[in-house]
Structure 1
Amino acid sequence: MKNLYVNVALPVPVNKLFTYIVPDELRDDVAVGKRVIVPFGEQELTGIIVEVSTQSGWHRLKEIKDVLDQVPAFSEEMLKLTKWVADYYLASWGEVLKTALPAGTVLESRSIVRLRRQLEPEVLSNMEKSSPKKAEVLKFLISQNSPVAIKTLKNKFHFKNIYSILHSLESLGYVEIERYLPEQKAKIKFEKFVSISKSYADNSKKLTQVIEELEKTSPKQVEILLFLLARLKKGESEVLLSDLLRVTGASMQTVKKLAERGLIEIYKKEAIRKFEYEFDEPDKKFELNEYQKKALIEIKKAIDSESFKTFLLYGVTGSGKTQIYIEAIKEIIKLGKTAIVLVPEISLTPQIVNRFKKSFGDIVGVLHSRMSIGERYDSWRMIKNGVYKIVIGPRSAIFAPLDRIGLIVVDEEQESSYKQFDLPPRYNARDVAIMRGRINNAVVILGSATPSLESYYNAKLGKYHLLVLPERVDNAKLPKIEVVDMIKERKEHANKTSISTLLTQKIDERISRGEGIIIFQNRRGYSTYIECQDCGYVEMCDNCSVTLIFHKAGNHLRCHYCGFVKSVPEKCRRCGGIKLKLKGVGTQRVEDEVAQIFSSAKIIRMDLDTTMGKKSYDKIMQRFANGEADILLGTQMVAKGLDFSRVTLVGVISADIPMLIPDFRSSERTFQLLTQVAGRAGRSEKEGEVIIQTFQPDHYIFNYVVEHKTLEFYERELKIRKELNYPPFTRLILIEFKGRNEKNVELASDEFAKELRSKVHLPVQILGPAPAAIPKINQNYRYHIIMKIPKNVDKTGGEIARIIWQLKEKFEVKLNSKGVKLIIDVDPQNTV
């Protein structure tokens, strides 16, 4: 019998597959797409089989340890998609596959170290002289007085040869290393049920006789049987054991006695954990207008042709894009196909899920990070098993294991939250959606009132088919927008609050009429910094190059990057002065000021501080939808996607904040944000109004926002981007170096850049290395190299990718030894 080999993709940052031999007892279990446990260095990892073969050029291969799945976790289509993501975003295939699996299903062996015997002080003293690193590790283990994870030792000492040290100590008999594989966190949940045994359930006379016999001796048993009998008559053949015990007050021992007598049956059944939203809103009757009908006809043609096509659905705020998504998906469901609907923020999910469930019922499933591991695992399995035909969620939902995908919707496609920026793979779900549509010959709809410049440019070139919804539904009008000059406000009205005289007047009018108000401030906390009035010193984070934000609730200063917290100082750290002043405005301060001006107003604040709970979004939105508050105040969470017909006024406190970010997309993002938040007003027969406050009223952005001239703004921005050689005319690759020793980071980035320039012989612009706009985050110094690649150069990206992978492999070991981490971000959404 020939040997059987498997190529396995592992979740490690290496651009290669790993070959293992299959032991005879597992030959019948292996298949492409299944998860396997394999040895890898000092540990065991979960990998995915991507190829099975009877030939291999490798010798002395290790065996796979186990096969975790009965059926493959990944289809051929998903393997193809994840391979594309890996190649395009310069991540390992295994890292992408791990991202596509639900949390808690990728296992990694853990190693702990324990002392085997106590050391004499003299032995430890001698070791400190001859082997100081070994002595350091032993002293730490002694101080802990319990087993310690190797991961903890790595983080504590940063020794590049920690395993060598531990193996040496193990051979000397001082420690022992224990390795184990934890249980899979994501598991199927079972619950116990109780029912009357079939022979008695089918024979009421026989059951009545038994009950009469038990009445005198075992009244509690009779109570249980009568309870089950009553439920049976209502058509409920089984009852949760926990419910039975709670209602009857019986003990488990009593229930077991009935089971032993054969009167009842106790058995386990799988329980599906569902994430239920606590948000509901009244049904709305929708009648498509002529523009919606025209758009839907075009989309339906593409659906019927069963060929890949991407639409850019550009519709002003309130133009009924969601209803078009619903009508298009109805066509998909008729054809026996499935659909994915991506939303940019979890906060938008409750409202859109509510609307889809009212249209499609129980075939709608959700996937997002606010779900528990169990809820997410059950939802993933129900998607894979075909129970859910429509999946809604933020970016990771693009990897939902659906078969026969016919339509993918990316709502608010311009949002940067579709880009994963913190962990590899650093993919953009919008672009992955387009590729998944291509692989499945499916239709893709990119919807937005403010499309990204890249998508608008692709529509101009004809790569995307442009559909336009120029009017709001139900004859609602676009809101009237006014810009308030806050410098003038301060001079003329001596107003020291963040609420202008005009906005105050407009809020008062709406409260008196019982209408809803949204106030937007894109900074949380109370004040954005604290400054010494004597010397100008500003309190900075100890770990990051950013100011500390004052939070009134805890009366402390907090860093919004690393979470560092410190008490409010009584005097200046630099000059000792006591004239410290809170400056800048956050949502907490706005809330206080509004409450002082409008003492009878009911205010709800929605920002990261108030939405930490699992269903906080739902509860806040439901309260506002029910009219339990006059004012909804918040950060970007309130700026887009929300649709409340009672809202007639939107106030923007500080329109300047996004413009101050040193990024080439700042103007675009500011325009999009202001247009989106303005669009929350007047989405019914009541006319809406928007007040935008700024210290830069002459900035060109405001003319376009006030006049609702979106496409004209884009044409201007395209000219600027072309002159500066930025996307959509080029592709960007950001290469970041970070570490705790700034000199090491700087030297590493210089050396890498020098070699990169020597290897790249294409007309590519390489900028840097230079310190990042925020040079230090969480005690890590950051240096950036930016590559600008013209669209007509290296069209597949293969040549540049090959060079970067080569350099990454060449430099990585050296960089790790210097404590420097290398990060590659293709098509970055943030260059700060």
Structure 2
Amino acid sequence: MATVAAFLPKNCEVCTIMSEHLYADVILPLPLGDLFTYRIPPAFQSTIKVGVRVVVQFGARKFYSALVYKLHNNMPGGSFDLKDIDAILDQQPVIAPAQIILWEWMVGYYCCTLGEVYKAALPSALKLESQTKVSFNPNFEIPEDLPGEEEALLLMLRGHGQANIQSINKFLGKKSALPVIKLLLEKNAVLIEEKIEENYAAKLQPFLFLHPKLGTEQAIGEALASLQKAKKQAQLLEFFLSETLYHPEQKAQIAKKELLEKSGISEGVLRALLDKEYLHLQEIEVGRLDLSYEGEQRIFDLSEAQNQALAAIGEATAQAKPVLFHGVTSSGKTEVYIKLIEEQLKQGKQVLYLVPEIGLTTQLINRLKRAFGAQAGIYHSRFNDSERVEIWMNTLHEREQSFRIIVGARSAALLPFRNLGLIIVDEEHENSYKQFDPSPRYNARDVAVVLAQIHRAAVVLGSATPSFESYFNVKTGKYALVELTQRYQNISLPEIRIADVRQATKRKQMKSLLTPDLFESIEKALQNDEQVILFQNRRGFAPYLQCGTCGWIPKCTNCDVSLTYHKNMGAVTCHYCGHTQTMPANCPECHSTEIKTRGFGTEKIEEELSILYPDARIARMDMDSTRGKKAYERLIYQFESKQIDILVGTQMVTKGLDFDHVSVVGILNADQLLNYPDFRAFERSYQLIAQVSGRAGRKNKQGLVIIQTSQPEHPVLLDVVANDFTRLFNIQMNERKMFKYPPYFRLAKVVLKHKSRERLNMGANQLAIRLRKLFGFKVLGPEYPLVSRIQNWYQKEIWIKLERDQKLGHSKQQIMDEIKAVRALPNNSSLLVYADIDPM
């Protein structure tokens, strides 16, 4: 921890030397639409650069680490006092020049600010913000008549020296202790100070060196002779010499931990050698990243179909066209990607490999390390701040050991690549690539295409079930299409059957949640020592509870949703805000004990299966069972190594996982997907069902997929059975063109939030009237969404359909101007409004 003054240069007298005025426009990590200009003191003028972080004061007290966007000699207009930059935090820029170009595009396209992009892109440890510190004024004498809270706080501060606002709130048991602090400030009893906290610290490790006074063979011999009576010390020194001076690799040092573990000698013996100045201890910076790989590296040869796809991708990327790589499940797309990566690495280029979920990095990184060793690394949000900083710097700067392949989820697209040659967006149809909250609400797939253009890199979008927008871009000539229509080693596509739940229920043939066909198929798979995946896109035990007498349903106190029952927790919880309460024993309305569960989630399926198949090893993969950092990887490993027979899961089990022994896949409730009120419902249903179906029969034999539904004649299900993506696409395109939906029109969603329903309605109507004057019938709403209140914020939505051929940038600016105008109206200052472009 250090004060702002600690970052100032030692020779402060040079600050008085006058030179030509130089100014910096900086980006603050705040949702502000403007850049802010600061004066550069003469002492900093020779060292400041675009892209470095600087400490600046913003407002009366706050300090932030801002990013230098531009250097210039233009004195800003206006009558305000210009502040100086207080400190420079970096010797070299922490962002790459291409990033600024990308950020500017994101600001223009996604209706956000540079500050929001800066905050989203950089690891938290690189974004410093001052904290208010409160300390006791030693010149103040505590009077006897001081109120209790004030006296308690002063005594605490006098004992502890200093405290931040959060710890004071906790100490006093208040949501905000600011009124108490204000009273003490007025009495001059406390002092206020802003401090900057440096969140990143290099990882240091103690290493042992031979002391300089033992620099000759003679000195070493004399040292060993002096240790004749201290046998353990002599043994440790001899071991050190064998591991360093006399080692074939001529190592100069050895890690302290390694020396003690290998020699088996205690730390007390080592201390004696340090005291005698035979060895010397020094802390050396070591990285947190795993840059080692000792396994065998091998890249497999491609099949004829894969080679043809590889050549076609090469031809398309040579014409600077994005490529949509449409390959059926288990067609070997990853092996084609590996060949593409190999070509880029030979040219000294970097590769970005995007996946929709963090969990997918586990299997993928293992395959890439087998091909490219330590050149492959991962970047995602489950790393701690320090690890993310090191990967950031590793990507930005050329080092002896650097990751040349970065595998990551959507945030990896914002890394500072210095020499990017290829971007792969795997499972490009996934809506996980879309950032929903907070701003910037970007789609990493689309950002990847722009990033590739900036770097003049190749970009390949891969999927077995492409998004309709990407496939439309192929039809209009914007993207090139490369298809891989046969599975690797000519393995057959799975057999897909539709099981009618309605008929099975009517005939009383259901085995708990399973139709007879699915029950018998699972039983047969277990007898053959094969594995099963069951998909249900609901976590928890039951979606809701209901009183059997009066119909009461427990609702969230903060959100307009029913609470989900989690039997393992013995509680009902809200999946929007996290509000949790114990399972009700009685109905609060009629006091009946007839509280029943309705519907079923993954927890209930797991319990029912343990009754139906008592000898089977059953596991669950959902958000609840994979909360730990390594929990997902552990589940994947257990399933791969056949320690699990049946895996029950949510969407997590549908995405890109490759298992050798899965023969049966069951989709337990397809109706839930098909009946969702969204214009993309059929597209997403097809994608999800086709993707989870692709987990079956991947290597040894044809798999079986059973889809349970009450709508066996539904056209989407018939298209899945026929594997007819084109038919579904054509029908949906006709409907979307007729009703003016993407990809024929662009969508902008304006979301308004307020804690008062009346204020929300007033502000939403005001904005809708203004937008209709600009866009007419293309404005829909305002309407409440499916969930109209989340975390006590009521919300409404206004949807705007924009023609693709009109000036999109101008239309978006008009939308933002109207939002700003409505927020400036009386009583609207607390109204939250934002625009989401291309919402999913």
**2:312 aligned to 291, 298, 301, which one?**
298
Residue in structure 2 matched with residue 373 of structure 1 by the alignment = 385
Q: Secondary structure at the match of 2:288?
A: coil
- Give me the identity figure in percent: 35
TM-superposed deviation, 1:96: 0.7
Residue in structure 2 matched with residue 149 of structure 1 by the alignment = 165
How has the CA–CA distance of structure 1 residues 714 and 176 changed in structure 2, closer, same or farther, with 3 Å as cutoff? same
TM-superposed deviation, 1:341: 0.5
Residue in structure 1 matched with residue 202 of structure 2 by the alignment = 188
**2:756 aligned to 724, 741, 758, which one?**
741
The separation in 1 between residues aligned to 2:559 and 2:292, in whole angstroms, is 37
Residue in structure 2 matched with residue 31 of structure 1 by the alignment = 49
TM-superposed deviation, 1:695: 2.2
The separation in 2 between residues aligned to 1:778 and 1:548, in whole angstroms, is 14
Equivalent residues in 2 for 1:321-332, closer than 5 Å: 321-332=333-344
TM-superposed deviation, 1:245: 4.3
1:615 partner letter:
K
The separation in 1 between residues aligned to 2:26 and 2:664, in whole angstroms, is 56
Residue in structure 1 matched with residue 4 of structure 2 by the alignment = none
How has the CA–CA distance of structure 1 residues 461 and 152 changed in structure 2, closer, same or farther, with 3 Å as cutoff? farther
The separation in 2 between residues aligned to 1:163 and 1:729, in whole angstroms, is 53
> Does structure 1 residue 806 correspond to structure 2 residue 803?
no
TM-superposed deviation, 1:452: 0.7
1:231 partner letter:
E
Q: Secondary structure at the match of 1:493?
A: coil
Contact 2:421–2:457 at 8 Å: present in 1 too?
yes
Equivalent residues in 2 for 1:550-589, closer than 5 Å: 550-589=565-604
1:721 partner letter:
R
2:220 partner letter:
L
Residue in structure 2 matched with residue 713 of structure 1 by the alignment = 728
Deviations for 1:135-190, whole angstroms, at most 9, x for unmatched residues? xx979979998956289989x9999xx9999778734536543321112x222211
How has the CA–CA distance of structure 1 residues 16 and 539 changed in structure 2, closer, same or farther, with 3 Å as cutoff? same
Q: Secondary structure at the match of 1:104?
A: helix
TM-superposed deviation, 1:802: 2.1
TM-superposed deviation, 1:520: 1.0
TM-superposed deviation, 1:385: 2.1
Deviations for 1:565-587, whole angstroms, at most 9, x for unmatched residues? 11111222222222111111111
The separation in 2 between residues aligned to 1:152 and 1:309, in whole angstroms, is 58
The separation in 2 between residues aligned to 1:322 and 1:246, in whole angstroms, is 41
TM-superposed deviation, 1:239: 2.1
2:206 partner letter:
K
Contact 1:277–1:350 at 8 Å: present in 2 too?
no
Residue in structure 1 matched with residue 778 of structure 2 by the alignment = 765
Aligned pair count? 806
TM-superposed deviation, 1:726: 1.1
Equivalent residues in 2 for 1:364-443, closer than 5 Å: 364-386=376-398, 387-443=402-458
> Does structure 1 residue 67 correspond to structure 2 residue 88?
yes
Residue in structure 1 matched with residue 837 of structure 2 by the alignment = 826
1:319 partner letter:
S
Q: Secondary structure at the match of 2:498?
A: strand
The separation in 1 between residues aligned to 2:732 and 2:272, in whole angstroms, is 78
TM-superposed deviation, 1:325: 0.9
Residue in structure 2 matched with residue 130 of structure 1 by the alignment = none
Residue in structure 1 matched with residue 36 of structure 2 by the alignment = 18
The separation in 2 between residues aligned to 1:122 and 1:744, in whole angstroms, is 45
**1:266 aligned to 272, 278, 281, which one?**
281
Q: Secondary structure at the match of 1:773?
A: coil
2:280 partner letter:
E
TM-score by length of 2: 0.90
Residue in structure 2 matched with residue 43 of structure 1 by the alignment = 62
How has the CA–CA distance of structure 1 residues 138 and 18 changed in structure 2, closer, same or farther, with 3 Å as cutoff? farther
1:30 partner letter:
I
The separation in 2 between residues aligned to 1:180 and 1:813, in whole angstroms, is 34
Contact 2:96–2:396 at 8 Å: present in 1 too?
no
TM-superposed deviation, 1:263: 2.2
The separation in 2 between residues aligned to 1:143 and 1:798, in whole angstroms, is 58
2:693 partner letter:
A
Equivalent residues in 2 for 1:277-292, closer than 5 Å: 286-292=300-306
Deviations for 1:108-156, whole angstroms, at most 9, x for unmatched residues? 111245687799999989xxxxxxxxxxx979979998956289989x9
TM-superposed deviation, 1:814: 6.4
Residue in structure 1 matched with residue 643 of structure 2 by the alignment = 628
Residue in structure 1 matched with residue 112 of structure 2 by the alignment = 91
The separation in 2 between residues aligned to 1:697 and 1:17, in whole angstroms, is 58
How has the CA–CA distance of structure 1 residues 150 and 369 changed in structure 2, closer, same or farther, with 3 Å as cutoff? closer
How has the CA–CA distance of structure 1 residues 696 and 158 changed in structure 2, closer, same or farther, with 3 Å as cutoff? farther
Compute the RMSD of aligned alpha carbons: 3.1
Residue in structure 2 matched with residue 128 of structure 1 by the alignment = none
TM-superposed deviation, 1:828: 0.9
Contact 1:474–1:685 at 8 Å: present in 2 too?
no
TM-superposed deviation, 1:816: 9.2
Contact 1:538–1:547 at 8 Å: present in 2 too?
yes
Q: Secondary structure at the match of 2:556?
A: coil
How has the CA–CA distance of structure 1 residues 67 and 157 changed in structure 2, closer, same or farther, with 3 Å as cutoff? same
Residue in structure 1 matched with residue 228 of structure 2 by the alignment = 215
> Does structure 1 residue 693 correspond to structure 2 residue 708?
yes
Residue in structure 2 matched with residue 314 of structure 1 by the alignment = 326
Unaligned runs of 5+ in 1: 126-136
How has the CA–CA distance of structure 1 residues 261 and 166 changed in structure 2, closer, same or farther, with 3 Å as cutoff? closer
How has the CA–CA distance of structure 1 residues 752 and 171 changed in structure 2, closer, same or farther, with 3 Å as cutoff? farther
Q: Secondary structure at the match of 2:226?
A: helix
Unaligned runs of 5+ in 2: 1-18
TM-superposed deviation, 1:214: 1.1
TM-superposed deviation, 1:197: 4.0
Residue in structure 1 matched with residue 661 of structure 2 by the alignment = 646
1:239 partner letter:
I
How has the CA–CA distance of structure 1 residues 598 and 4 changed in structure 2, closer, same or farther, with 3 Å as cutoff? same
**2:795 aligned to 746, 766, 782, which one?**
782
Contact 1:409–1:445 at 8 Å: present in 2 too?
yes
The separation in 2 between residues aligned to 1:380 and 1:826, in whole angstroms, is 28
The separation in 1 between residues aligned to 2:582 and 2:155, in whole angstroms, is 31
1:606 partner letter:
M
Residue in structure 1 matched with residue 522 of structure 2 by the alignment = 507
TM-superposed deviation, 1:820: 2.9
The separation in 1 between residues aligned to 2:292 and 2:567, in whole angstroms, is 31
How has the CA–CA distance of structure 1 residues 168 and 138 changed in structure 2, closer, same or farther, with 3 Å as cutoff? closer
The separation in 2 between residues aligned to 1:695 and 1:680, in whole angstroms, is 23
Contact 1:540–1:547 at 8 Å: present in 2 too?
yes
The separation in 2 between residues aligned to 1:284 and 1:475, in whole angstroms, is 23
TM-superposed deviation, 1:16: 1.1
Q: Secondary structure at the match of 1:789?
A: strand
How has the CA–CA distance of structure 1 residues 437 and 735 changed in structure 2, closer, same or farther, with 3 Å as cutoff? same
Q: Secondary structure at the match of 2:486?
A: coil
How has the CA–CA distance of structure 1 residues 520 and 399 changed in structure 2, closer, same or farther, with 3 Å as cutoff? same
TM-superposed deviation, 1:453: 0.9
2:20 partner letter:
K
TM-superposed deviation, 1:804: 3.0
How has the CA–CA distance of structure 1 residues 778 and 292 changed in structure 2, closer, same or farther, with 3 Å as cutoff? same
How has the CA–CA distance of structure 1 residues 18 and 730 changed in structure 2, closer, same or farther, with 3 Å as cutoff? same
Deviations for 1:263-284, whole angstroms, at most 9, x for unmatched residues? 2232222211126999x9x999
Residue in structure 2 matched with residue 480 of structure 1 by the alignment = 495
The separation in 1 between residues aligned to 2:806 and 2:614, in whole angstroms, is 62
Deviations for 1:333-390, whole angstroms, at most 9, x for unmatched residues? 1222111000000111011111111111111121011112222222222222231111
Contact 1:141–1:148 at 8 Å: present in 2 too?
no
How has the CA–CA distance of structure 1 residues 511 and 369 changed in structure 2, closer, same or farther, with 3 Å as cutoff? same
Residue in structure 2 matched with residue 460 of structure 1 by the alignment = 475
TM-superposed deviation, 1:810: 3.8
Q: Secondary structure at the match of 2:670?
A: coil
How has the CA–CA distance of structure 1 residues 483 and 285 changed in structure 2, closer, same or farther, with 3 Å as cutoff? farther
Q: Secondary structure at the match of 2:786?
A: strand
